[in-house]
Amino acid sequence: MQEINHFAIQIGLILALSFLVGMEREQNIRLRADIPTLGGVRTFPLMGLLGYLLAHNIWTFAGGILVVGALLVMQYRGKMLGERYGLTTEFSALIVYSLGIFVVQGQYWLATTIAVISTLLLQMKKPLETLALKISTDELLTLSQFVMLSAVILPLVPNESYTEYQLNPYRTWLVVVAVSGVSYLSYILQRWHGEKQGLMLAGIMGGIYSSTVTTVALAKQSRSTGLPALTCASAIIGATGMMYFRIIILVWLFTPALGAALVKPFGVMGILTLIFSFLLFLRSRGQARLTAVERPSINPLQLLNAILFALVFIFITVITKLVVRHFGQVGLYALSVFMGPTDIDPFIMSLAEKMRFSLHDSGLAIALAVASNNIFKGGYAWYLAGKQVGRWTLSSFVGISILTLLLAALWL
């Protein structure tokens, strides 16, 4: 009786999965009733059952593939006579036939996953074709670079610690992948949104990418195109608001305890900064609400950029250890302030990658680096965009930095 129940479950599963794919193909038949096709809601379950029956012996299953393949070739030749060349239905039939061997082996989750993914791919024909036409060659190349960084290079990097500084190439490259992935998301959003976009939206998405780069880009554009000072300042401040959330996510990926500790002070600062930037934007009365904003020119996934980030990360990790070894906690805090003029991601990730310090010390060091970076961004805006933009950004960033340190000291 137990064996009968076992077979009943397997037969029921193969019927359900093949029926799911067959239902989708049946809908396709109804939409294209004037064109003959392979089959639908009856043919696919029958093919699934055939695959299940033959899968109990590997040789009969292989022979069945040859027979089914021959039938599909005959079907495709008939389609070619009608000047139709798609192989979607034929490949769907082969997948349904092959589900039987997974079910017989008891790999129910794998069989179900394959059937569901196949049905989704069949059903999403138009959205996927539209997406393929929308993605440019450059964006496809960028996506390929991300896959190369994460799925090709990362597994090849040794996961061992070297030298007295405990440098781990795998962990270092994992940091590169994480930072590049977050930056890549913002990069794609900015490119897909088009040449015309609101300055606030440009600032917010740029903050996900890099608030320092966004500040420099918007400040330069403000001087060259005459963007209203208050509107430009609000976008720059909005980028910094998003920076707080970006830091929480990146730190949490590698040290959840430290990321959780930063949620309260940095989360509050991110919300307050975004609210303040939005109020400034409203005060500007919507001037340049839709302005031509330059697309990001730096691809965060270029291999050279990734290697450079990795080298900077290693350098800062070594410097941090040397400073702490010789000067202790005071040296760590001084180094945090010193990192302000540059991109602070490598320094923050060097603290998060391995928990070498207490939550309080690491969190306060990150807060000092952020505060220092904010003030320098205000200085960059003043220098590049002029006094009007600089007055708003620098004064705002001084206040934001002081509040950041107060909240960090209170809650960390």
Q: Could you tell me the pLDDT band of residue 195, with boundaries at 50, 70 and 90?
A: very low
Residue type, 282: L
Q: Could you tell me the pLDDT band of residue 269, with boundaries at 50, 70 and 90?
A: very high
Percent of all residues in the chain with a pLDDT value above 70, rounded to a whole number: 79
Q: How far apart are CA 266 and CA 289, in angstroms?
A: 28
Write down the pLDDT at residue 182. Answer: 66
Higher-confidence position of 333 and 217: 333
Residue type, 53: L
Strands 291-292 and 196-197: antiparallel
Write down the pLDDT at residue 302. Answer: 63
Q: How far apart are CA 233 and CA 227, in angstroms?
A: 10
Domain boundaries of the chain, sorted by first residue: 2-130, 135-411
Please compute, for residue 231, the number of CA atoms within 13 A of its CA located in the half-sphere on the CB side. Answer: 20
pLDDT averaged over every residue in the chain: 78
pLDDT at residue 289 greater than cutoff 50:
no
pLDDT at residue 295 greater than cutoff 60:
no
Q: Could you tell me the pLDDT band of residue 398, with boundaries at 50, 70 and 90?
A: very high
Q: Could you tell me the pLDDT band of residue 82, with boundaries at 50, 70 and 90?
A: low
pLDDT at residue 132 greater than cutoff 90:
no
* Region 145-165 average pLDDT: 77
Beta bridge partners of 162: 167
φ, ψ of residue 291 in degrees (nearest 5): -125, 150
Write down the pLDDT at residue 219. Answer: 81
Give per-residue pLDDT as tens, 37-53. 566 778 888 888 888 88
- Ranges 293-307, 323-337, 367-381: which has the least confidence: 293-307
Write down the pLDDT at residue 368. Answer: 92
* Region 373-384 average pLDDT: 88
Q: Could you tell me the pLDDT band of residue 79, with boundaries at 50, 70 and 90?
A: low
Q: How far apart are CA 339 and CA 349, in angstroms?
A: 13
Q: How many CB atoms lie within 10 A of CB 61?
A: 20
Q: Could you tell me the pLDDT band of residue 266, with boundaries at 50, 70 and 90?
A: very high
pTM of the model: 0.69
Q: How far apart are CA 405 and CA 81, in angstroms?
A: 74
